[in-house]
């Protein structure tokens, strides 16, 4: 029987720090040895992995056409073809009327990522067409490190130019002259810190904005009206925006409101009462945000002082205002109440209304606002048991139509599966929502259960459909999501109750969800698998240390588990900007708080469940060594004989493998592992 690799131990506080020596021959040999050990331990699962791969692939329509988006004289769309890892990007002439039928005679291929990837990693960042439809700006990451090369393609001739700029974050924004691009540059810590102006065909660029505070990231974007460009500088707690008329790219950017610590505001530009105005989502009157308006800036204005902002939608302590979408005929509000997303439409010529939906728990958002003058927008709607739908919404009347539903090939009936929402009581009495799905004939008896969690950055884990997940549900699994504090499912207060000094609440909530699922008969500890990625990997690592006997197996994807050492190292990408989420460990009380729950620091001599850990060698957000060091310490400390496996994808980054078939193989590996280790499977 092959033996697990044993990491060399060095003296000092961090005995596995040597694994941080990127590209060192000994480190690479160790990571490859771990990969070989994983394959040896799962060798008997190879046929099952192949079966799962074929199952999942068989449910996906390999050759398909996306729903075309009308813009100007064209329809833009993507086409996937069987055997290809990536979709191709096309356009064709726009037909008369409201038809979305594509015309093969006028169809033109704009970009083929399959050719660009050439079998390797590829992530497409920006895909941006100029306003005159003559140019395509796009960016490519070929390593998985989220550093992009920039390209401009002249669509009439097919000529592609690679721009002579390194270390870019991939964002590219056109001005209305169709020749000027704004793009964002990364600093040494991988932070978007500088916005540059570039004119197509020139050798150099001009710096237009630089953010020196390491807590802040820069983004450049177009406003909904297409009349304004925006630079947004934002930290986890504060933001500041600068505007420039899109018709005058050489002009001076003007600040909409100078930053104040704790004030987050997010502007967009559109029509209000027939006048061009700024619509500004701001938390100055309350943590759940309100909506303000300010008249369009005029020549000579240096800024739009907050004292002149008019409140048009007041703060509601029960309802979170998450976003706004602007069209010429309506304002669409993305709200969140009682853990569910809601859309409220405020047409210019009709009474406000809420979008009505068929399920009790779901995911919903505006997928495409279409052209600014369009009377329609498109919504994306899905549930745990319902494949994603693209719906058109007529803004004036509220009429909906399903334009496209993601197909599930082979036998599938959504009514065979049941979605539920139940509640757990955390240690402090807080009620925590849990979303579940299973075959109807699975509920009512104890079953293997896959519990997923995240709980950070205010991100909401709204229920989503998965073709791959059906392979577990068809084998009698229940899938569940623990909506723990630290996420955004229940509003801003829910997020704040799971960050900084309150981070233990996230772990307590997840443990309470697991205990509730066991106590109510959905599963048992030996049949309970838990999973999370990135900051969700921190959640998994922490609860494994605190309550290892509660779980039968765990999967940690690109896990943020070496929290204390990472937050102490300001040379690493993104460290300083993370202080607002986790705290600054240079402060003694924060140091002790992080040390008390950091998964790597708190590994100890006890039994742990079966564990699969996956890392990306080129990951710039969570370095590969966090997973490697954690597994090494677990191997040296744990007192059981359960499987402990580490897989490092040497050619990928934070998001895993880039191709769709490559991603399916990763899922097949995870599912085969769970089917091997859970009790009775």
Q: Which residues contact 168 (CB under 8 A, 6 or more apart)?
A: 139, 147, 148, 149, 150, 183, 184, 185, 186
Q: Which of 471, 534, 620, 658 does the annotation list as catalytic?
A: 534
Instruction: Name residues whose C-beta falls within 8 Å of residue 523's C-beta, 6 or more positions apart in sequence.
Output: 446, 447, 448, 449, 478, 517
Interior angle at CA 430, CA 429 and CA 433, nearest 5: 130
Residues 6+ apart with CB under 8 A from 505: 426, 428, 430, 484, 485, 486, 497, 498
Residue 90 dihedral angles phi and psi, to the nearest 5°: -135, 170
Terminal C-alpha separation, the chain: 22
Spatial CB neighbours of 462, under 8 Å, sequence gap ≥ 6: 340, 341, 362, 363, 364, 489
Q: 3-state SS of 601-653?
A: CCCCCCCCCEEEEEEECCCCCCCHHHHHHHHHHHHHHCCCCCCEEEEEECCCE
Which one of 141, 145, 562, 619 is the catalytic residue? 619
Name, in order, each residue with C-beta under 8 angstroms of 606's C-beta and a sequence gap of 6 or more.
548, 638, 639
Selection from 83, 82, 100, 407 nearest residue 91 by Cα: 100
Distance CA 253, CA 246 (A): 11
273 is catalytic: no
619 is catalytic: yes
Residues 323-344: b if buried by 16+ CB within 10 A, e if exposed: bbbbbebbbbbbbbeebbbbbb
| Closest C-alpha among 39, 47, 90 to residue 69 | 90
Q: Is 654 a catalytic residue?
A: yes
Q: What is the dihedral of CA 621, 625, 626, 627, to 10 degrees?
A: 110
Nearest to 618 by CA among 21, 143, 35: 143
Q: Which residues contact 378 (CB under 8 A, 6 or more apart)?
A: 67, 366, 367, 368, 369, 370, 390, 391, 392, 393, 403
Catalytic site residues? 534, 619, 654
């Amino acid at each position: 029987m092959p033996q697990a690799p044993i990491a060399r131990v060095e003296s000092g506080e961090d005995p596995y720090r040597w694994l941080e020596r990127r590209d060192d021959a000994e480190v690479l040999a160790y990571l490859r040895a771990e990969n070989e050990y994983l394959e040896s331990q799962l060798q008997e699962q190879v046929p099952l992995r192949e079966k799962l791969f074929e199952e999942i692939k068989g449910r996906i329509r390999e050759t398909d056409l996306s729903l075309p988006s009308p813009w100007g004289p064209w329809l833009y769309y993507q086409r996937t073809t069987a055997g290809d890892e990536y979709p191709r990007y096309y356009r064709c002439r726009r037909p008369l009327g409201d038809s979305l039928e594509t015309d093969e005679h006028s169809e033109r291929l704009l970009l083929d990522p399959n050719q660009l990837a050439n079998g390797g990693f590829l992530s497409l960042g920006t895909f941006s067409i100029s306003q005159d439809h003559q140019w395509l700006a796009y960016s490519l990451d070929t390593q998985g490190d989220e550093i992009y090369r920039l390209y401009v393609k002249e669509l009439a001739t097919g000529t592609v130019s690679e721009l002579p700029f390194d270390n870019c974050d991939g964002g590219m924004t056109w001005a209305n002259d169709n020749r000027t691009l704004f793009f964002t540059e990364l600093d040494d810590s991988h932070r978007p810190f500088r916005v540059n102006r570039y004119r197509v065909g020139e050798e150099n660029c001009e710096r237009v904005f630089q953010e020196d505070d390491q807590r802040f990231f820069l983004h450049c974007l177009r406003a909904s009206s297409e009349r304004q460009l925006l630079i947004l500088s934002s930290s986890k707690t504060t933001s500041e925006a600068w505007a420039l008329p899109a018709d005058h790219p050489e002009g001076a950017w003007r600040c909409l409101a100078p930053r104040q610590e704790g004030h987050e505001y997010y502007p967009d530009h559109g029509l209000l009462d027939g006048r061009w105005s700024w619509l500004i989502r701001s938390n100055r009157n309350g943590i759940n945000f309100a909506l303000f308006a300010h008249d369009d800036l005029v020549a000579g204005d240096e800024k739009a002082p907050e004292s002149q902002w008019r409140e048009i939608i007041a703060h509601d302590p029960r309802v979170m205002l998450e976003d706004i979408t602007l069209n010429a005929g309506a304002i669409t509000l993305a709200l969140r109440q009682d853990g569910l997303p809601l859309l409220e439409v405020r047409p210019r010529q009709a009474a406000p209304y809420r979008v009505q939906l068929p399920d009790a728990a779901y995911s919903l958002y505006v997928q495409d606002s279409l052209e600014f003058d369009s009377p329609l927008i498109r919504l994306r709607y899905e549930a745990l048991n319902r494949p994603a739908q693209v719906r058109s919404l007529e803004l004036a009347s509220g009429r909906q139509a399903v334009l496209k539903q993601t197909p599930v090939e082979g036998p599938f009936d959504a009514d065979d599966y049941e979605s539920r929402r139940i509640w757990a009581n955390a240690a402090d009495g807080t009620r925590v929502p849990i979303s579940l799905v299973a075959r109807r004939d699975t509920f009512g008896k104890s079953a293997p259960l896959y519990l997923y969690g995240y709980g950070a950055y205010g991100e909401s884990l709204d229920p989503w459909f998965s073709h791959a997940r059906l392979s577990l549900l068809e084998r009698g699994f229940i899938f569940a999501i623990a909506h723990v504090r630290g996420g955004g499912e229940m509003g801003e207060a829910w997020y704040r109750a799971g960050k900084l000094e309150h981070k233990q609440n996230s772990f307590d909530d997840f443990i309470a969800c697991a205990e509730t699922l066991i106590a109510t008969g959905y599963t048992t500890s030996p049949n309970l698998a838990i999973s999370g990625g990135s900051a969700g990997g921190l959640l998994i690592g922490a609860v494994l240390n605190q309550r290892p006997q509660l779980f039968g197996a765990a999967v940690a994807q690109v896990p943020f588990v070496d929290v204390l050492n990472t937050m102490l190292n300001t040379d690493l990408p993104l460290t300083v900007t993370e202080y607002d989420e986790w705290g600054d460990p240079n402060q003694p009380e924060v140091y002790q708080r992080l040390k008390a729950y950091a998964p790597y620091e708190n590994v100890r001599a006890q039994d742990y469940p079966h564990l699969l850990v996956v890392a990306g060698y080129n990951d710039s957000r969570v370095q590969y060594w966090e997973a490697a060091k954690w597994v090494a310490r677990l191997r040296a400390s744990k007192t059981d004989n359960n499987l402990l496996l580490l897989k490092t994808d040497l050619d990928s980054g934070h998001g895993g493998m880039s191709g769709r078939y490559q991603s399916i193989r990763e899922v097949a590996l995870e599912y085969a592992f769970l089917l091997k280790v859970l009790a009775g499977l």
